[in-house]
Amino acid sequence: MSDSGIIDYAVLIPLMPMLAFPVILFLGRLFNGTPTWVKNVKEGGIIALTVMGASLVLALAVIKEHMHHVGTANVFTWFESSWWNSETGAITTKVFGVGIHIDHLTVMLLFVAAFLCFLINIFSIGYMNTDPINDNRNHRFYAEFVLFCSGMLGMVLADSFLWLFIFWELMGLCSYLLIGFYYERPSAAYAAKKAFLTTRVGDVFLVIGLVMLWNLFDGHLDYAYVFNKENIAAVDSGDLQLALGMMFIGAVGKSAQFPLHVWLPDAMEGPTPVSALIHAATMVNAGLYLVARMFPFFGGAELGALSTLAIVIACIGGITAVMAALIAFVQMDLKKVLAYSTMSQLAYIFTGLGSALWFANNGYDELAAFAMGASLFHLFNHAMAKGMLFMASGSVIHEMHHAHHEVAHHDDDHHDDHHDDHFDAQSMENMGGLASRMPITATAMFVGSMSIIGIPLIGGFWSKEGIIASAWQVALKEPIFLLPAILILIGAGMTGFYMSRMWFMTFAGKPKTEVAEHVHEQTAWIPIPLVTLTFMTLGAIVFAGMHAGHWLGDFESGHYTNFFDGIGYELEHVFLNHDTFLLVLTYVAIGLSLVLGPSFAMALYGGSLDDGQKAKPWMQWAINLSAKVNSRSKFDNTEWANSSLSNSLHKRLHFDDVYDAAMMKIVVGFSNLAAIFDTKFIDGVIKTIESTSQQASQRVRALTTGSARDYIMMTALGTLAIFMLLWGVA
Amino acid sequence: MIDPAWVSGLAAILFIIGLWGAFSRKNAIVVLMCIELMLNAVNLQFVAAATHWGDVTGWVYAVFAIAIAAAEVAIGLAIFLSMYGQHETISLDEVNLLKN
Amino acid sequence: MTTEVFSTEFWTAFAPESILVVGLLLIFIIPNLGNSKFRIPLTKVHVPWFLGGRRFKLTGSPAIPGMLATATLFTALGMMIIETIDGNMDTTTVTSGGIVILQIDNFSRYFEILFLSAALLASMASLDRIPAHTFQGKKSLEEMYDNRRQADFYILMLTTAVGMCMVALAQDLFVLFVGLELASLATYVLVGFHKESKAGAESGVKYFIVGSVASGVGLYGLSLLYLEFGSLQLTTLAANWADASILGTIALGLVLVGFGFKVSAAPFHFAAPDAYAGANSPVAGVLATASKAMGMIGLIRVLLVIALPEANSEGSAVWLYALAILSVVTMTWGNIAALGSKNPKRMLAYSSVAHAGYMMAALTAVGAWRWGEIEAPGDYAEAIVAAVLFHLFVLVAFKLGAFLVLGLLEMEGGASRLSALAGLARRDPLIGTAMFIFMLALAGVPPLAGFMSKFLVIAGIVSASIGELWMNGTVSFSDIHWIWWLALAMFLNSAISVFYYLRIGVVMFLDVPEEGRRKPLPYGASIRMAIWVCLVATVILGLSGDTLIDMCYRAAESLNLS
Amino acid sequence: MLVGGLLIIVAGLMAFFPSMSESDSAVDWISIPLVGFPIIVSCILLAFASQETRERKELLAVPIRLFTLAASLIPLAISTALFFDWLIMVDWDLMYNEYALEKEYVWIETIGVSWHVGMDGLSFPMVWLTTFLIPVTIITTWNEKDGATYHPLLLMMGGALIGVFVALDLFLFYVFWELTLIPMFFLILKWGGKDRRYAAQKFFIYTFCASVIMLLGLITLYFLQPEGNGSQYGTLTGRTFDMTVLFANATAYNVGDNVFLGEDMQNILFAMLMIGFLVKLPAVPFHTWLPDAHVQAPTGGSMLLAGVMLKMGAYGMLRIPIAIFPDAVIYYQDVIMAIGLISLVWGAVVCLGQTNLKRMVAYSSVSHMGVILLGIASMQPIGYAAALFMMFAHGIISPMLFAVCGAFKHHYHSMEIGSMRGMAKWSPYLSVYMMFAWMASLGLPLLAGFVAELMVLIAYWPEYGWWILLPGFVLAITAAYYLWSMQRTIFEGGDEGQPPESLNGETPPDITLPENIGMIILAIFTVIFGIFPFIALGMMDQWTVAFFEGVFNSGGI
């Protein structure tokens, strides 16, 4: 089945960036250092931007066309494979192709990906091209950037799990390259390796899952075939659950969930736009996308047969949500806080998806649709907000760098190269009071944080409530689900704390260093995406009004024609729920995230700005409030800060240590043993054979004594021997 | 007339003595003599067999064998001479430059 | 065709051999031509007598004997090849008094060609190896020696050739033995030819003594055979073999020893390495190829022509186990000993022991099948014998070739250490490459002649082990005759042998030449020519051995084994 | 320019001979152009060069090099033209036991040996690969010392390798099989590293010992054939070494109860043949010759060794024992699987502990060759096709790996991982190629190696189930050692980089132009075959189908 129309050109969406990759890379090698290339083309940034813009336009066109119906297109046959039945001897040939598949899920992620890629490209031009450290390597950045975008867009558009995986790996590669962008830093090199390797572990399972799926579905991995209800029903659901479980491990790796989460914080070694795009907004969503893709299996399979997997997914989500939030409590690095926050929020979505899958598998179609919608909406909100947060943090870091540069040059002109040495531009301990100095950034950060925390009426609130509600609704039916349900509820409060902590430490209070006093917002390009996304986040109610259910596959249902009806329904659903339990739950969650978490944060880290400095009014109240709370409460957390829990939180709950030890001690140890076995044993055997035969040679040749008498005697003996032999036979 | 079997027996004994002597004696000349002994055993055997079969070829063989033995002695002595020239000994045990 | 000795037909048929003898006599005579006159007694009439006196300058040149020998061998060889190559050769049997003495057939001619080729190459090489110094002026003692012994050397060489031819032609075991002795006695002297050196004298003594004992034992075996059968005619013996008593078997064993020494089978091989090491290289080459082939004729005659069971009888040959054990011991011993040998000549000697083992394994295979069970046993036997013949012939190409390369090195002083070969490929790439190709051929690397021959030998063994089993339906591994394991042993041995053959290559290509061997190699036109001939033969016979294989088959067929 | 010229030649060939690939083509496209020509030309060049003095050799190096390159382009042009020819036809006629461009000339008629050459879907990709790699290798190692003899040796190697792949006669096959040893032996011996003496001998002896056993198996098999009449049959033995006849016999005699060879006979012969091929492959525990040979071999030697020579083992397996003894394959299925799995895991695990770059890459070859065995053990056409594609893909990727190692050695005089850091600063091109090659080798999608690995896994699962975790584990380990080595060469080193001590303070250079050209060609083809695997996979798939029809379906299973 193949549609025609705009979808025929959909393949260009990933293809254009992919083709731009070599162009930028090699032109960069050629033109590096020429002023035109550096100033006007922004070392490839403009080329990339053009390409991403074109992709975005095309993507929007495709989205418009396929908003309400599924579209598919074949591109070419990738390979053919044949199977032999050893019983009958029959040989069947399976064709495996490449194609485009567009449905609701695709549409949503396509928008997120294309839109954010474009915005972050704009941001990068501002961020990357003004830093001298990036001279001579920016073309590399843009090349890898567009390749990544191609991977992300391709993954979303792919029409089969295999092609999903292929683009998934492509993203992994780009992630690796971009984390290691500052290749000369050992920490970057280490982080890049770690990221690739950890996700690779997940990918291995994903491949195995694909292989199992391939065999279950008779050589098909394309959505059109595997999502067919009859085909799903024909499959043994136990096997299916194993296969999907394997694939889920891949998703765990990619989306940095427990226990394969260790790579994400380190991945912040990459340039900030990379963190924004790859490690917050798009690539880490790939795992979610994969799990969301599994939805039809749960709907189609035998009732309850796959619910174990759904529970596992939700539990992993719950555990990660709390764990990441805990670690985020103690992080001082601005980007690392955001990284842990990303982990935690992705975990929410996993829990939501788990609930949706559970519902789907147990026959609660409407609830499933709701939970699915909530999860995907959260994905959307989180992508927008987190992308913005990262860009804002990038803005902060960038300006801190500039300020540091200025300050350092002001103070002493004697030495120029000291400024990189000991100053950490990313540490929140060096910031403070930036709200007035960086109004746009502070606003963006403010809105973003609120969205993540789940402040009512803003961004993530709508979706987060849905996720918590869904999880609890499952928990009412399935007691094991209480674990993730409780965990994410606690996590909501923790989110409130660490996000507020981050904001207050950075923007409120007095500047903690001299550098922070000299910060200005001065870089062009950067505000564009920040402002855009601020409005996107604030306007989430609009998207919510299109009904969360819309994000779900069933296009026929749950789709309000009247826009304001939708908003009304949404508001009613959240704040005046007819189900008392859910109503209470909502307010508990609001209370936790809105009141408890931020209050603690204010108490610990709040404070007023410098005298004479004034933030924009929409933030000033929060700063004032925090100053008040802070001064009222005599809250001392030094004891807690020195506790062993805090220590282990600083050490990221020892996961990295354990993994490193396992790798270095066990695997490398075994490897050394194997190498020794090769050289000592196998080669040893050969050398022994050789030396033994040399010795034998010595012995044998020693029989040739040189005395003719001995030779005669041997002849005589030989005669005798022949004599005996012949006699014996005769 | 003596039964050829006895002659054969004598030949066998001679042969064994010759063979034994060939590797138990050191002196090259004695070894050469032992080899001659073996050849003589062959001659005796031929003659005995010829008598046994009443066939004249055996005699011819014996005559040829004697000629061969003679040639062998001639060459052997010449070779021993050259050995003596170089090694100044005719003890076979002491001529063991080439070995292994 | 049957003819009497010295009849007209005899001379026609034996023209090549006659030429050899004439050449031999000429080498006696020509150098001695001089202005001596014979005074008729009691008169003063001086009749020119020409033998002795002041030698003529032209005929007295020390170079003459070598050229004469080479020319003679070349002529005889050419005649034989022309006669044989088209395959339409008449069989000529020579009788005397009812006894068949000699027979010219494909088999004997084949071996004669082999012997003469080896002798020809050796004498060509010796032209440079033992150079005749014709230049004027002061000569060193060494050169004087060389000059004086020119005639001796080539006379011995031709004598060896004649003796070997006689072995090939003989139809009577005793005649065979006489020929063997003729050749042997000449080679004893050749081995000890360098009597000015300790090694030369010593090797001559050892080879002589052990050889004499072995031939004594063999001769005694013959006498026992005669005692048993009353005749030493091959046909008679073959016909009566089935009725032989234990005495016949014992005699067979003793005869085996005589030939075993010639083919240098373990444990009769001990003198061989010493002899090769002490002899000069072309002579060692002849020992390793022609002399071995001579012994092989004996083995084939005795074991295959005489001592095989009748075509329709059950059971395998009586010597099967003895020969199988002997062959495995021989090949393993040779290879193991060669493995550690640091002297290239000894190494080649041991390798030739190993090759003897391979050929004996092939002969074993002939005795293996149960003659009664097989429809056409002769086919198998012929295939194997042909393979052995092929192997013997190509050995002349690459083993003798290898010895000739060593001979070239000997021209600048001894070649008894591996280091003498060091850097040969750098000093003279073509000679180095040739040597490497000889080594590869010895190891049995395709597409060289050595591979082809080994391949044929093994194919022969395997074919005999399988026989015609495939006709009976399903073939199971246990149905296969145990001699199949001989093939495996052969293969394992060839695998071992690669070690030492390759080492020579490595030394030649990698190592730095030792002191005193930095200059280019001595030129030596004729020895190089001989090496090229060997090289070309090694390659050509490997690439396309059809003509030679056909010749071998015809030779094998003329044995009338079935 | 080169590529353009090549395309022109290809176009010209196709224009003049529109039906090159027709099986009854009157022109013999294989014997002389593909096999004879490289060998003869190289022999002439070698003989010519060897007689010159050292100074003259230096002078001659450039013309000889150019001539060798030109000579090597001719086979490439022919094989590429054939490739296009088949590609356009789409329906491949390169089926099992139906050969294109088949030619037969009687060679040694007494024992039934003929010069029988032809190509099918199994051999053609390998032939093309060989013809492709030789010019690439020559270009990449353009500046190797003693070029006057080095490059002709590479050419000779290529001719012998093509000979192995096109031979349809067991004897011929064996001849070429052994012939490949000789140029390689010299390449290692003359241009090798410090331990070259040991490595060269080990290489030669290992393979020779194994192939000797294989030869015994072949001869035994030969005599177990029924006698026949015809030009291919030996006039004296009545049997033939012709593979086509052998395959026909094998299928004919495997039907029903009339099993020609007893089960144990089949198994023993199968094992004997396999030993030869497994050592060549190499499979653990016969693999230790490979790291030594690679580490000591010069770049060009390594490229051909890894690129084509190892595939001879896999090719031979599929060509002879598996085709003739289908029952034995099933009998030994688990053993093959186990050997493959052990090779796979062992090679990868050992890699992790290596500090020598080339040694690591060599062990990774061992690991990848294990994948081929897994494909064979899967007993599915898809697995076989995957094995074939693995051979092909690895044939493009591994030369690049070794080209990178060679360039590394060439420019930094060291092979130690970690002896230098921050290579990206000094040698950006080399870093890019290194990263690319490493990524391709660890099976990154859209590069040639991925499809093969995936297909093997797909074929593996239904047969062996959860054992699949081990190959999966290896995928991760492979990534680990590659990433680890990159981390410590390309990355790190601080702002100034950390050049290796072996440079003695000189500035580390980037790679030279020839190396650049060679590697970029390899990289381009890695991508092409990664994105469009069907170019080669199409014929492989159809061949395997025909193979299964012809072998397993006609076997009495």
Question: Of the candidates A455, A525, A458, A528, which has an alpha carbon nearest to the alpha carbon of residue A492?
Answer: A455
Is the separation of the CB atoms in A507 and A434 below 8 Å? Answer: yes
Reported as a pLDDT band with limits 50, 70 and 90, residue D253 is low
D106 class by beta-carbon count within 10 Å (0-12 exposed, 13-18 middle, 19+ buried): middle
Is the separation of the CB atoms in C118 and C285 below 8 Å? Answer: yes
Contact check, Cβ <8 Å, B98/C216: no
Q: Closest approach of chain D CAs to the CA of A89, in angstroms?
A: 6
Phi, psi of A457 (to 5 degrees): 75, -5
Return d(Cα A112, Cα A382) in angstroms, integer.
10
Task: Dump pLDDT digits (tens) for B24-71.
Answer: 888 999 999 999 999 999 999 999 999 888 888 889 899 999 999 999
Task: Dump pLDDT digits (tens) for A2-34.
Answer: 556 778 888 888 889 999 998 888 888 888 778
Q: What does the pLDDT average to over A296-313?
A: 86
Is the separation of the CB atoms in C175 and C44 below 8 Å? Answer: no
A76 class by beta-carbon count within 10 Å (0-12 exposed, 13-18 middle, 19+ buried): exposed
Q: What local confidence, expressed as pLDDT, does residue C468 receive?
A: 74
Return d(Cα C15, Cα C82) in angstroms, integer.
12
Q: What percent of chain D has pLDDT over 90?
A: 32
Task: Dump pLDDT digits (tens) for C245-267.
Answer: 888 888 989 999 999 999 999 88
Q: What local confidence, expressed as pLDDT, does residue D257 receive?
A: 46
Please tell me whether the peptide bond between D125 and the residue prior to it is cis, using omega within 30 degrees of 0: no
Task: Give the chain D residue whose CA is nearest to the CA of A163.
Answer: D445
Question: Of the candidates C38, C83, C36, which has an alpha carbon nearest to the alpha carbon of residue C60?
Answer: C36
Among C202, C220, C273, whose Cβ lies nearest the Cβ of B38? C220
Question: Of the candidates D220, D219, D245, which has an alpha carbon nearest to the alpha carbon of residue D231?
Answer: D245
Give the E-state strand segments of chain B in sequence order.
Answer: none
Q: Tell me the count of B-C CB pairs closer than 8 A.
A: 130
Q: What does the pLDDT average to over A344-367?
A: 88
Phi, psi of D307 (to 5 degrees): -70, -45
Is the separation of the CB atoms in C156 and B75 below 8 Å? Answer: no
Residue A553 scores a pLDDT above 60: no
Contact check, Cβ <8 Å, C253/A697: no
Q: What does the pLDDT average to over B74-82?
A: 92
Query: For chain C, which ranges sit under pLDDT 70?
Result: 133-139, 311-312, 369-377, 470-473, 562
Task: Dump pLDDT digits (tens) for C165-201.
Answer: 999 999 999 999 999 999 999 999 999 888 888 888 8
Which of A187-191, A422-426, A445-449, C540-544 shows the lowest mean pLDDT across its residues?
A422-426
Instruction: Look at residue C94 and give its three-state secondary structure.
Output: strand
Q: What local confidence, expressed as pLDDT, does residue A557 receive?
A: 42
Reported as a pLDDT band with limits 50, 70 and 90, residue D12 is low
Residue A498 scores a pLDDT above 70: yes
What ipTM was reported for this prediction?
0.88
Question: Of the candidates A526, A521, A519, A329, which has an alpha carbon nearest to the alpha carbon of residue A432?
Answer: A519
Q: What local confidence, expressed as pLDDT, does residue A396 receive?
A: 87
Is the separation of the CB atoms in A268 and A328 below 8 Å? Answer: no
Task: Dump pLDDT digits (tens) for D367-395.
Answer: 999 999 999 998 888 999 999 999 999 99
Instruction: State the alpha helices, DSSP H only, in A158-306.
Output: 161-179, 186-216, 223-226, 229-233, 237-254, 263-266, 272-276, 285-293, 295-300
Task: Dump pLDDT digits (tens) for C367-383.
Answer: 886 655 666 667 788 88
Where in chain C are the domains? Answer: 318-562
Q: What does the pLDDT average to over D317-327?
A: 87
Q: Closest approach of chain A CAs to the CA of D521, in angstroms?
A: 15
- Label residues D414-424 b or e (16+ Cβ within 10 Å = b): bbbbbbbbbbb
Return d(Cα A82, Cα D549) in angstroms, integer.
12
Phi, psi of D113 (to 5 degrees): -105, 130
Q: What does the pLDDT average to over A654-673?
A: 83
Q: Tell me the count of A-D CB pairs closer than 8 A.
A: 168
- Residue C346 or residue A580, greater confidence: C346
Those chains having 3 or more beta-carbon pairs within 8 angstroms of chain D are A, C
Residue A143 scores a pLDDT above 80: yes
Bridge partners, residue C46, by sequence: C39
DSSP assignment of A421-448? TS--TTBGGG----TTT-HHHHHHHHHH
Chain C residue numbers touching A715 (CB-CB < 8 A)? 210, 213-214, 217, 257, 261, 267-268, 270
The torsion defined by the Cα of C280, C285, C288 and C290, in degrees rounded to 10, comes to -120
Which of A595-599, A646-650, D383-387 shows the lowest mean pLDDT across its residues?
A646-650
Q: What local confidence, expressed as pLDDT, does residue C111 receive?
A: 93
Q: What's the mean pLDDT when you consider all of chain A? A: 83
- Residue C166 or residue A633, greater confidence: C166
Q: Which helix H or strand E contains A476, and what residues bound it?
A: helix A460-477
Chain C residue numbers touching D258 (CB-CB < 8 A)? 473
Among C487, C498, C502, whose Cβ lies nearest the Cβ of D216? C487
Note the maximum CA span of chain D. 77
Q: Closest approach of chain C CAs to the CA of B77, in angstroms?
A: 10
Contact check, Cβ <8 Å, A727/C322: no
Most confident listed range (A366-370, A416-420, A435-439, B19-23):
B19-23
Taking a contact as any Cβ pair under 8 Å apart, which residues of chain A between 664 and 703 contact chain B? 701-702
Contact check, Cβ <8 Å, A711/C270: yes
Contact check, Cβ <8 Å, D175/C446: yes
Q: Do the two chains B and D touch, given a threshold of 8 Å on CB pairs and at least 3 pairs?
A: no
And the tokens for A205? 């399972």
Task: Give the chain C residue whose CA is nearest to the CA of A704.
Answer: C270
Task: Dump pLDDT digits (tens) for A203-246.
Answer: 999 999 999 998 888 888 888 888 888 888 888 888 889 999 99
Q: What does the pLDDT average to over A158-164?
A: 89
Question: Any long-range contacts for A585-590 (C-beta under 8 Å, 24+ apart)?
Answer: A585/A468, A585/A469, A585/A472, A585/A489, A586/A465, A586/A468, A586/A469, A588/A489, A589/A454, A589/A464, A589/A465, A589/A468, A589/A489, A589/A492, A590/A454, A590/A456
Reported as a pLDDT band with limits 50, 70 and 90, residue A88 is confident
DSSP assignment of D303-359? HHIIIIIHHHHHHHHHHTHHHH-HHHHHHTHHHHHHHHHHHHHHHHHHHHT--BHHH
